[in-house]
Every structure is written in C-alpha cells, then in structure tokens.
Copies of this chain bind each other. A is one copy, B any other.
Amino acid sequence: MPKFMDIHRGMEGLTADQLKAAHQADLAIEAQEGVHFEHAWADPDSGDVFCLSEAPSAGAVQRVHERAGHKADEIHPVPLSV
C-alpha cells in the first residue's frame, strides 16, 4: 500500500493532548477509506504537524482528515523510504 506524508500548517500552540485527540479521531474513522495513520509529529512553535500514513490514495487521506476536522495543507506520496 502506498505511503503518504501530509502536513498541517497553522497549529501553533498545539498540546500533546490535542495531538493525541486529533490522531484518535483519524484512527476512529480511517478504516472507512482503507487508510492507516502510522505516526504524527508536531512542532507547536511553527504549528506544523506531519502525518505518515498508508492509504490507497492522497484523496483517501484527505477525506479521513477532513471528516475528523483537520484538513491537511499538503499531501505527498512517499514511494521511497529508508
């Protein structure tokens, strides 16, 4: 299954609990689109959040994020990894 790295911008001041809740919201509905969000990393100072997922398409990633209330600003397929 393809992997994607998506970026959310503008989440300055995000707390650990908020990140956990957002990730839980994704996990709760991800199966609807055949997506699995593996990890998320956040920089509360710049407000950038990075999410790594396996998904059938970038659209599927965005649909889950959108339904969970936090659209991604960028979604990159990452076919290469080490």
Q: Which residues of A contact B (CB under 8 A)?
A: 3, 5, 14-16, 19-20, 23, 39-46, 48, 50, 52, 76-82
Number of copies: 2
Chain B residues, Cβ within 8 Å of A50: 5, 50, 76, 78
B5 touches A80 (CB 8 A): no
For A76, the closest partner residue in chain B by CB is B43
How far is it, in angstroms, between the C-alpha of A79 and the C-alpha of B14 when the chains are bound? 11
Chain B residues, Cβ within 8 Å of A42: 78-81
B76 touches A16 (CB 8 A): no
Chain B residues, Cβ within 8 Å of A44: 79-80
For A22, the closest partner residue in chain B by CB is B82
B82 touches A20 (CB 8 A): yes
Q: Could you name 25 residue pairs across A and B whose Cβ atoms are closer than 8 Å?
A: A3-B41, A5-B43, A14-B80, A15-B80, A19-B81, A39-B81, A39-B82, A40-B81, A40-B82, A41-B78, A41-B80, A41-B81, A42-B78, A42-B79, A42-B80, A42-B81, A43-B76, A43-B78, A43-B79, A43-B80, A44-B79, A45-B77, A46-B76, A50-B50, A50-B76
